Amino acid sequence: MPDFIDDFDEEITAPEHLKGLITAEIDTIRDVMQLVQMFIGESMVATVKYLQELEPKEEEEENK
């Protein structure tokens, strides 16, 4: 199996416009992940807390 790492030149740098594009993509991904966290993550936390509040009531009703 050939070693592809030897094919890369360590002295070559990316052009500035490419660095800007990559940074913009990373920022977009970070923003999308924050939106997902807000709308899905927080809803899941609220749902779990709601279900935890219902659990003791169900046990009390079964014991009566």
Model confidence over 33-53: pLDDT tens digits?
Answer: 999 888 888 888 888 988 888
Q: CA–CA separation, 55 vs 60, rounded Å?
A: 9
The runs of H, that is alpha helices, within 1-64 are 16-36, 42-63
Q: What is the pTM of this model?
A: 0.51
Q: CA–CA separation, 21 vs 30, rounded Å?
A: 14
pLDDT tens track for 50-64: 888 887 665 556 665
Radius of gyration of the chain (CA): 25
